[in-house]
Structure 1
Amino acid sequence: MHNLLSNLKITINDNIFLKDPESSDLGKRIVENSIFLIDEIGFDAFTFKKLGAKIGSNESSIYRYFENKHNLLVYLASWYWSWTEYQLVFAINNITDPIKKLDIAIDILTRTTTLDSNFAHIDEVVLKRIIIHEYSKSYLTKQVDLDNDEGYFT
């Protein structure tokens, strides 16, 4: 069972990124370290230049993966909600009683987040803090309607 889950890939809308960060070690380091840096200094103070310094790479290498920091935030949020959906589907898949399904779903959505060993490069606990504090900023742009048309928020 662990082998099956270790091959699980959270899929994110291709319009959010330029190159899939899950496809390379650098992409995974970008995601991993952006989570810690956004948590540490906040989204407003976060820049690709600071992230590049943190991962020991130049700023332009990050732009190969994400057009801007807004898209990176949308990517992180999409990853978090897709991961939550995976947990929900996995937990209630074989349950027929709708009340029990609802109880399990509420438990999953409200429980304390713990690290998921299936995704070593993502700290889900820190990512949840970012979702709580910074997620609304993914909607607070002038191009939110265009982003929605591209499927960023589905």
Structure 2
Amino acid sequence: MDRLLSNLKIIVPEKIYVKDPETSDLGKRIVQHSIILIDKIGFEAFTFKKLGTLIGSNESSIYRYFESKHKLLLYLSSWYWAWIEYQLVIETHNLNSSDKLDKAIKIVTRKTKQDANYNHINEIVLNRIIINENSKSFLTKEVDQENRDGYFVIYKRIVHRLSEIIKGINPNYKFPLSLASTILEGSLHQHFLKDHFSSITDCNNSISPSDFYLNLIFNALNYSYGSNSNDPMATIT
């Protein structure tokens, strides 16, 4: 998979940025150090002036790539979900229905590891930002217009991919989209609770959000998790 991913370019919706940061060294430094700075001080305290000081560049040069810090957060979020989607497509290819769902859940809920294919992006740190800040990219008054403009197309595409995998297990299940979106958002929330409010989650160093969602989803679909049957419908009750 690593070899395949190295030949893939992460595509982010063009309307999010003014100039594609992947096309220049400065653009890549803006992305690289914005991740570091947002992780360190939080999105509320983050400014282009502070980022410019960190990278030794004028604040105005950052505006040539992103018109606002909100658009920069949208870029980081879209990049992250596109990276997750590539893993989802490649790692679930040619699996049977049960194994495909098992793998898909693990991909979108597991602890992130560093990907050496993208040297200017620390995926482990970016994952922390997504856990802590992702909701700020869409909990805005402009969300409907931004949705129409296609800013969230990658995230929505993952939900639909998960929905189709869920229907492959139980085509009669009535809520595949709701379940799929719950997996994505809920797993971020469980990671957040595990790190900050451990008294209100069962997830810890021994029980991961992946463990929780594997149990939850297969039970919701009335499917015997871990069955060796080749027939994906064999254990549907």
TM-score for both structures, normalised by structure 1 = 0.95
Equivalent-residue separation in structure 1 for 2:3 and 2:152 (angstroms)? 31
Percent identity (aligned): 65
Q: Which amino acid aligns with 2:101?
A: L
Structure 1 runs, 4 residues or longer, greater than 4 Å off: 1-4
Equivalent-residue separation in structure 2 for 1:7 and 1:129 (angstroms)? 26
CA shift, 1:62, in A, is 0.4
TM-score for both structures, normalised by structure 2 = 0.62
| Preserved CA contact (<8 Å) 2:5 2:86 | no
Alignment length (residue pairs): 153
Question: Aligned residue for 2:64?
Answer: 64
Equivalent-residue separation in structure 1 for 2:140 and 2:13 (angstroms)? 19
Question: Aligned residue for 2:80?
Answer: 80
CA shift, 1:94, in A, is 2.2
Question: Aligned residue for 1:145?
Answer: 144
What SS does structure 2 have at the residue aligned with 1:15?
Answer: helix
Equivalent-residue separation in structure 2 for 1:138 and 1:93 (angstroms)? 30
Equivalent-residue separation in structure 2 for 1:119 and 1:47 (angstroms)? 24
CA shift, 1:146, in A, is 1.2
Rate the CA distance shift 1:131–1:3 in 2: closer, same or farther, 3 A: closer
Equivalent-residue separation in structure 2 for 1:30 and 1:22 (angstroms)? 10
Q: Which amino acid aligns with 2:134?
A: Y
Q: How does 1:17-36 map to 2 (within 5 A)?
A: 17-36=17-36
For each residue in 1:79-127, what CA deviation from the matched residue of structure 2 results, as whole angstroms up to 9, or x when unmatched?
00000000010101122x1111001111112221110001111000110
Rate the CA distance shift 1:109–1:2 in 2: closer, same or farther, 3 A: closer
Equivalent-residue separation in structure 2 for 1:149 and 1:94 (angstroms)? 33
Rate the CA distance shift 1:141–1:51 in 2: closer, same or farther, 3 A: same
- The gaps in structure 2 that reach 5 residues or longer are 154-237
CA shift, 1:6, in A, is 2.5
Q: Which amino acid aligns with 2:136?
A: K
CA shift, 1:7, in A, is 2.8
Q: CA RMSD in A?
A: 1.3
Question: Aligned residue for 1:123?
Answer: 122
Equivalent-residue separation in structure 2 for 1:112 and 1:3 (angstroms)? 21
Question: Aligned residue for 1:107?
Answer: 106
Equivalent-residue separation in structure 2 for 1:132 and 1:5 (angstroms)? 23
